[in-house]
Amino acid sequence: MAKGRPSSYASVAMRARRKRILAAARCAIEDLGWHGCGMREIGIRADVATRTMYKIFGSREQLLVSAIEDLRDEAEHLFPSPTTLHANLARISATVDLFAGHRNCARALVDIYFGSTTPAELRQRIDQQARSCNQAWLRQLQRLRAGIAIADLADDLVRVELASLGGWLHGRMADDEIVRRMSQAWLGLVVSATRGDAHRSADALLRRVQTAAGWVGLQ
């Protein structure tokens, strides 16, 4: 840092520019779709040079993932702390609500994640973002010695959440089905991976979800 340089101003300016790019990326992708929206279009909307965006984010895919992370951060107050089974189901419902307003961005994220040419480090970044939602609850299970392989269950839960979202976003699940079916798949994994009290609690909750007519969430 050069002596006397206004670092706080530069930092604020850089953060504002980054925020502007992320907002422009979300809007452009929602308007034009992932395949119809290039970095040039995003740069025009953000009033930022294309080369600058590549310098900041590295690739269009990295920019999309950053935009989704930023969107999730903005909506943080809508998400319950997922420290219980019930809270995790509420988180699933909140995630669906959030992505319902940003379908093209969310669809692109899922497609990138499952894409055969996606770099491993980018897939790991998406993995970590999704896995972090379950970490507090999984740590509780570990303390309870619920008989689970934490790392394996964390990975499996990420896969089922993203696969369920992909099915919905590509029209293979109706809007009024996604939360119930995603919750059933999520709880089914927990039931199969646990034992003792944790297993019994998850099994009882799964039965409630399966039998509740018109179920859209549990408080």
Buried b / exposed e over 20-43, threshold 16 CB at 10 Å, is ebbbbbbbbbbeeebeebebebbb
Q: Is 185 exposed, middle or buried (0-12, 13-18, 19+ CB in 10 A)?
A: middle
Quote the mean pLDDT of the chain.
86
Using a cut of 0.85, tell me whether the model's pTM lies above it: no
Q: What is the pLDDT of residue 10?
A: 60
At 74 the three-state DSSP class reads helix
- The 10s digit of each residue's pLDDT in 21-55 is 999 999 999 999 999 999 999 999 999 999 999 99
Query: What's the pLDDT at 144?
Result: 61
Give Cβ neighbours of residue 198 (< 8 Å, ≥ 6 apart).
141, 144, 146, 147, 148, 190
In single-letter form, the type of residue at position 106 comes to A
Distance CA 186, CA 6 (A): 49
Is residue 116 helix, strand or coil?
coil
Residue 3 has pLDDT above 50, yes or no: no
Domains along the sequence of the chain with CATH: 7-70 (1.10.10.60), 75-211 (no CATH)
